[in-house]
Structure 1
Amino acid sequence: AKETILIKSLNKQLLISFFKAVRPQLFLYIGMLLFSSAVYLLGRLPLDLLFYTIELTAFLFFLYLLAQFYRYAKRYGRLQDIQQDKIELENYLPKGVDPADEWYHEKILSLVSQLRETEQCFGEKNSEQLEYFTLWLHQIKTPIAAISLLMQSQPKQPLTKQVDQELLRLEDYTHMALNYLKIEESGTDLDFAEIDLDYVIKKTIKKYSILFIYNYISLEYKETQVSVLTDGKWLQILLEQILSNSLKYTVGGTIKIYMDPERSETLVIEDNGMGIRAEDLPRIFEKGYSGLNGRLHEKSTGLGLFLSQKIIERLGHQLTIESVLGKGTKVFIHLARKELELFD
Structure 2
Amino acid sequence: MHDFVAYLKARMLVWIILLLVLIISAGIIFLEDLPFIALLDGLVIGAAFLLPILTFDAYRWLTQYRQLTATPEEDPLSHMPAPVNAMDKRYQAIISTQNQLRLSTQVSVQQQSQALSDNFALWSHQMKTPLAALDLLLQVPPVDIKEARTEVKRVDRYVQMMLTYIKVNDVNRDLVLKPVPLTPLVKRVVRDLADLFIGKNLPVQVDPLPTVVTDTQWISFIFEQILTNAAKYTETGSVHVYAKGDAIVIADTGIGIAATDLPRLFEPGFSGYNGRMNQKASGLGLAMSQTIAEKLGLKLSVDSQVGVGTTVFLHLAQQTWKSE
Which interval holds the TM-score relative to the shorter structure?
Answer: 0.5 to 0.7
Q: Give 1 or 2 for the bigger CA radius of gyration.
A: 2
How far apart in 1 are the matches of 2:146 and 2:202?
15
Distance 1:218 1:315, change over 3 A: same
Q: Residue 188 of structure 1: SS of its match in structure 2?
A: helix
How far apart in 1 are the matches of 2:299 and 2:182?
16
| 2:195 pairs with 1:202 | no
Percent identity of paired positions between Structure 1 and Structure 2? 35
Deviations 1:251-300 (A, max 9, x none): 1321111112xx1x411100000110000000010000000100000000
Q: How does 1:1-344 map to 2 (within 5 A)?
A: 90=77, 93-94=80-81, 159-185=144-170, 188-224=173-209, 226-260=210-244, 263=245, 265-337=246-318
How far apart in 1 are the matches of 2:217 and 2:308?
31
Deviations 1:158-200 (A, max 9, x none): 9323222222211111111011110123653311111111121
Q: TM-score if structure 1 supplies the norm length?
A: 0.53
Q: Residue 94 of structure 1: SS of its match in structure 2?
A: coil
Any unmatched runs of 5+ in structure 2? 1-74, 84-98, 125-130, 320-324
Compare relative contact order (CA 8 Å, sep 6+) and give the higher one, 1 or 2: 2
Is the 2:302–2:313 Cα contact (8 Å) retained in structure 1? yes
Q: Residue 175 of structure 1: SS of its match in structure 2?
A: helix
How far apart in 2 are the matches of 1:164 and 1:258?
30
Q: Residue 299 of structure 1: SS of its match in structure 2?
A: coil
How far apart in 2 are the matches of 1:161 and 1:252?
21
Is the 1:277–1:324 Cα contact (8 Å) retained in structure 2? yes
Q: How many residues in Structure 1 have an aligned counterpart in Structure 2?
A: 205
Deviations 1:236-264 (A, max 9, x none): 1110011011111011321111112xx1x
Is the 2:256–2:306 Cα contact (8 Å) retained in structure 1? yes
> How far apart are residue 95 of structure 1 and its match?
5.7
How far apart in 2 are the matches of 1:245 and 1:290?
11
Q: TM-score if structure 2 supplies the norm length?
A: 0.56
Q: Amino acid of the residue matched to residue 305 of structure 1? A: L
How far apart in 2 are the matches of 1:258 and 1:182?
29
Q: Residue 176 of structure 1: SS of its match in structure 2?
A: helix
Deviations 1:181-228 (A, max 9, x none): 10123653311111111121111011011221121111122122x110
